[in-house]
Chain A
Amino acid sequence: MFENVVYVIIYGLIFASLYGIMTVGFSLVCGLGGFFDIALPAYFMVGAFMIVELSPYLGNGTMLIVAPGLGLLCVAHYLLFIRPQRDNPYRVFFATILLALGVESLMAKFFSSGYTFKIAPLLSGNVNIFDVEIRQQLLLGGAVGWIALFGLRYISHNTNIGRAVIGIPQSVRGSQVIGLDVVRIQAIVYGVGGVLLALGAYFYGGYLGVSVHMWAYPLVIMFTITTVGGLGSINGIMIATVLVGWLEVAVVTFIDPRIRAFVILSLAIAILIFRPRGLAGKRIG
C-alpha cells in the first residue's frame, strides 16, 4: 500500500509537469484571446514527429533545433491564421479544428497511421525511490517540466511582459488603452507555448510513443487543466495539473485504468458547472 501511495505521488507529479508544460500555451492563449486554438495539440504531434525524424541526424542536439522550430511554427500559425480573425472566437475555433484535422491527415500521409514511433531517450536506466522503479528519462522530464513551470511563474510575476500576459485577460480594451501591444504579446505567448510543446512532445512521446493520433488525449488534458485551473492563470495551471496528474495515476493504480478519463473529465465538468472561473482563474462564460 505504501509503495502504491509513493508511486501515485511520484508519477502523478511527473505527469503533472508534462501536462503542465503542454497546457501553458493553450491556456494562456485562451485567456488572452478568449478563444480555443485546437491546432496547438496537432502541433504537439508535429513536434514529436520532428524529433523522431531529426534525432538520427542531430542526436542529443535535436531539441536545440526542434524547440525553437516549433516555437516559430506556432508564431507563424498565429500570424497567418489566428490574428486575422482573433476577434471572433467561433471562427478561430472552427478554422483551427479544420487545420488540426488537415495536419493529422498530412502527417498520416507521410507516417503510417497505425504505427507508433519511438524517441531515443537521453538517459537510460531506472532510479529506485522508496522501492518504486522510475525511468531516469521520465524523472528528467518531470524535473524539466517543473523548472519550466516555476520559471514561467516567476516571469509572470516579476517582468512587465509576464504581468501583461496575466493582466490582458482582465480587460483587453483597458490593456490597449495603456499602450500594451496585444498582438505582439499573443505572438510571444504562441512562441513560448510552442517551445514548451516541443519539450512536452519529447518526454511524453518518449514515454508513450509517437503516432499521428497522439494529439487527441493531450487535447483532452489541455481542456481539462485549463478548465480546472482557470483561464490565463499560471498558478491555476500548476494547481490543476497536480490535481489531474495525481487523480489520473490514483485511478489507474487503485480503481480501474479504463475509467481514468471519465473520472478526470467528471471533475472538470463539475468544476465548470459549479465554479466556471476554475480554481484560480478569472470568470469565463
Chain B
Amino acid sequence: MSRDSVRWAATFVALTLAAVLFRADISFVISATFFAIFAMSWSFFTSYSGYLNLGHVIFIGMGGYTSAILNYHLDWPMPVSIVIGSIVGTLLGWLYLNPIHKRVSGLSFEMVSFLSIIALTNLVLSGYARPLTNGDLGLSPLDGIFSTLGFAIGIAALLCLFGYGYSRFLSSNSGKIVDFARESQDIVRTAGADPHRYTGRLLLLSGLLASTGGALYVHYSGAAVVSNTFELAFMIRIVVIAIIGGRFSLYGSIVGAYFVVFAGFLLKPVVSSHIEFLIIYGLGFAIYFLWPKGLISILEVAIRRVVPGRKSVQ
C-alpha cells in the first residue's frame, strides 16, 4: 500500500470515529465534513495552481441548483438529480472558469472570479431567473437527506476518496508540472508543455468535488438558496476555513473545517452569534499571523514529536 493510501485510510477512520463519538450531535459532524469538502476542493486548485480562485462557489452553486431544479421542478428522483447536478455543475463551472484562467492570472483572475459570484448571485435572485430559482425564497422543499451516522460516514468516505485522488494527482507527473508552473509558467512552456492544460485539469478535479458536495449539500439543507450556494459570505467562510487549517495542505482543510464548526458548536450556547464569529475570526487572524501554514503545521510538529522522522503531509 502506498503512503498516501495509508494516510487517507487513517483519516477516514479518524473521521468515522469522530462521527461515532459525536453521534448525539451528528449534524455538526456532517456540517464539518461538508465544509472540509468545500475547503479541500478550493485549496487543491488555489494552493497548487497559484491562482487565487474566489469563484469556487460557482461549482457548488451550479451543482446544487441543477440538482435542486431537477428534483423540485421535474420531480426527478434525488439520487439521479444529485448525479446529474454534480456532472452539469462541474462542466458549467469549468467551461466558465477554465478559459478565464487561461487568459488572465494574478490579481485579474482574483477579481474576475470574485466579481463573477456576485454577478451570479444577483442573477439568481433577479426576476428573470425567478421562475427557475424562486428568487430569495429558493427551491424548497427538496427531497432531503437526513442527519444519520451512515450519511456522515458516507460523505467522510467521499472526502477521503477525493483526498486520495488529489494526493495521487499531485505526486504524478501532471502534479509536478503544475508545481513547476506555479513557480514559473515560462519554464513549463520552454519544456514544450502548456501549463494551462495541467492547471485546467486541477480546476476540473477541484470542481468535481465541489459540485458533488454542492449537490449533496442542498438536499441535506432541504433547500437551494444563495446563502448555501453562490453567496460571497459562503465563499469567505470556505476561504477562512482553509486558511485556519492550512492552505497548502489537503489535510489542513479538514482540520480547519472541524475546528471552525466545533468552535461554533462549543461557543453557541455561551455567547451570541456576533461574539462567536468575532472569536472564530479573531482566532483565525491570530493563527494566520503566528502560524501562516495554519493549524496543520502545529499538528505536524506534535505528530513529529511522537513519530520522529515523519515527513510533512501535503
Contact = CB atoms under 8 A, between A and B. Distances in A.
Given A106-B278, A273-B100, A98 B285 contact: yes
Interface string B267-306: 0000010110110011011001100100000000000000
Given A93-B52, A265-B118, A102 B106 contact: no
Interface string A88-117: 011101110111011001101100010000
Given A259-B128, A262-B119, A265-B122, A109 B292 contact: no
B111 interface: yes
B180 interface: no
Among B105, B240, B275, B277, which residue has the most Cβ atoms of chain A within 10 A? B277
Interface string B124-154: 0111100000000000000000000000000
B104 interface: yes
A258 interface: yes
A176 interface: no
Contacts of B127: 256, 258-259
Given A30-B107, A259-B122, A261-B119, A269 B112 contact: yes
Given A89-B107, A90-B52, A276-B108, A105 B275 contact: yes
Contact of B281 (A105, A231, A272): A105
B108 A285 contact: yes
Contacts, number: 111
B311 interface: no
For chain A, which range describes its interface: under 10, 10 to 19, 20 to 34, or 35 or more residues? 35 or more
Given A97-B236, A98-B288, A102-B285, A285 B106 contact: yes
Given A95-B288, A109-B274, A262-B122, A272 B115 contact: yes
Contacts of A276: 104, 108
Contact of A91 (B105, B109, B292): B292
A36 interface: yes
B103 interface: yes
B107 A108 contact: no
A38 to B, nearest CB: 9
Interface residues of B, number: 41
Contact of A109 (B52, B103, B275): B275
Interface in A222-267: 223-224, 226-227, 231, 256, 258-259, 261-262, 265-266
A97 B240 contact: yes
B116 interface: yes
A276 B102 CA distance: 13
B110 interface: yes
A229 to B, nearest CB: 12
A90 B240 CA distance: 13
B108 A95 contact: no
A220 B109 contact: no
Contacts of A258: 122, 125-127
Interface in B85-122: 100, 103-112, 114-116, 118-119, 122
Interface of A: 30, 34, 36, 89-91, 93-95, 97-99, 101-102, 105-106, 108-109, 113, 216, 220, 223-224, 226-227, 231, 256, 258-259, 261-262, 265-266, 268-269, 272-273, 276, 284-285
Given A91-B292, A97-B239, A105-B274, 12 more contacts: A34-B107, A93-B110, A97-B236, A97-B240, A98-B281, A108-B274, A109-B272, A216-B232, A220-B118, A276-B104, A284-B107, A285-B108
20 contacts: A89-B107, A98-B288, A101-B236, A102-B278, A105-B277, A106-B274, A109-B278, A216-B232, A220-B115, A256-B126, A258-B126, A261-B118, A265-B115, A265-B116, A265-B118, A273-B103, A284-B106, A284-B108, A285-B104, A285-B109
